[in-house]
Structures are given as C-alpha cells and as structure tokens.
Amino acid sequence: MQYPGRRKSVSNTTDVQSHRSFAALKQAFPTWEMVRTSPPAAIEAVIKSCGLAETKTARVQAILQLLHDERGECSLEHLREASDEAVKRVLGSYKGVGAKTISCVLMFCLKRFDFPVDTHVWKIALALNWVPKAATRDQTYEHLNAKVPDEIKYALHVLLVKHGKVYKNDVKTLRETLRHCEAGGEELPGEDAPPSEPTAVKQEVKPEAVD
C-alpha cells in the first residue's frame, strides 16, 4: 500500500506500459507527497505513455490531497486492518476509482479473497454463459465474486486474464484448457502451467440471473 495511486495512474494500459510508467513515476517522484505537490504538467510528462495523462494526474492528485487533508499523510496503510466493505466504501468514494481497481487492491495489495473482473474476464464470462448476455461488467463482478470459491479466486483470475491476452478471449481454446485442467494436465498449450484449481469452477459457477 506504499503507492496508493498505482492502479489509477496506469489503468486502461497494457502491462508493459503500466510497469514502465509506474517505474518512471517512482523515479521522478519518490514519494506520494512529491506527487501531491508537484505541478500537474510535470507528472503528465512522466506518465504520458499511458494515455489520458491529464485526467489521471488530476485524479491522483485529488486523491492524495484528500488523504493529506483527512489523515495528514499520503497513505492508505490504515486500510490494511479494515474490513472488505470498509475498503470498498473508502476507495469507492474517490472519483475515478471503480470496481475493478478496488478489487485489484483487495486481491493484490491486501491479499483478500476478491475476484477482479477486467475486460478479459468479463468477455469470457459472457461467452461461457456464466452470466446473462446483458450483464454489465460490474454485475459480472458482483455475481462471480459471490460464486467463485475463495480458494481459487486468485488462480482463476490470473488464468482468465492470461488466456484473454494470449488467445484473444477465444472460448474454444478456453474450454480445452479447462478440460485439460479437469483431466489433471499440468501445462497450458504454448504457455506456462496453469493453476490446477479451476477444475472446481465448472461445478460452482453456473449460468443464472444476476441481481
């Protein structure tokens, strides 16, 4: 939680771009206090490769200013001990921070059982009829976060995102991958070994109406 603005500063970019831009941001501005007090144009110049640099800079600085005003420091460390609902409530109050970003913070930063739904996961869930065709990404998140067993949320999320990037969300290949996992296979064709846990997902995640 040392860099609370990371998800916002690099959202809607590729992994390579996000890592490069965040590394550049940390090098140019080693502390979030520096990000808060620096001229917006200086920050925009550093993260311009991400796109929407002006919007992202404005939102990150606004969040940092709120944190500084409310807590006297640019840190979200206090959320480590907060409940999932409290974390969602606090992060959701910041402009530009959506369900996916919050879920990623919960899973990757706080090591909580949550299931982020990005574009890849959403499209795959729709194609596999895990949710109705009209389900929005937020509805898909609410549904899958409730249905996917906690013990496989991390592994399944990583598998689906990786599949989406490598196979462009091709459902036929995904079904073959899931069957491969179910049969006890150890390698994803052309890729590193996937988690074995997704076997249970076919039993637990069923097509049904979302709330």
Q: Is residue 102 part of a domain?
A: yes
Pairwise CA distance, residues 106 & 87, whole Å: 8
Number of neighbouring beta carbons within 10 Å of residue 202: 14
Which among 75, 90, 109 is the end of a domain? 109
Tell whether 155 and 179 lie within a shared domain.
yes
Q: Is residue 61 part of a domain?
A: yes
Give the chain's domain count: 2
* Domain interval for residue 166: 119-204
Tell whether 74 and 34 lie within a shared domain.
yes
Pairwise CA distance, residues 19 & 24, whole Å: 8
User: Tokens 């603005």 — which residue?
Assistant: 5
Tell whether 22 and 89 lie within a shared domain.
yes
Rounded to two decimals, the pTM is: 0.76
Q: Which of 27, 30, 21 is nearest to 2 (CA)?
A: 30
Q: Flag whether pLDDT at 188 surpasses 70.
A: no
Residue among 100, 123, 162, 168 flagged as catalytic: 100
What value does the mean pLDDT take over residues 115-123?
Answer: 96
Residue 202 annotated in active site: no
User: Tokens 């637990």 — which residue?
Assistant: 204
> Percentage of the chain surpassing pLDDT 90?
64
- Please report, for residues 21, 142, 143, 152, 156, the alpha-carbon distance to residue 199 in angstroms, rounded to integers and kept in the order given: 36, 21, 19, 10, 10
Check: CB of residue 141 under 8 Å from CB of residue 115.
Answer: yes
Q: Is residue 211 part of a domain?
A: no
Rg of the chain, C-alpha, whole Å: 19
Q: Is 74 exposed, middle or buried (0-12, 13-18, 19+ CB in 10 A)?
A: buried
Q: Flag whether pLDDT at 57 surpasses 50.
A: yes
Pairwise CA distance, residues 133 & 115, whole Å: 19
Q: Is residue 86 part of a domain?
A: yes
Q: Flag whether pLDDT at 201 surpasses 90.
A: no
Tell whether 64 and 125 lie within a shared domain.
no
Write down the pLDDT at residue 187: 46
Which secondary-structure segment (H or E) carries 140? helix 137-147
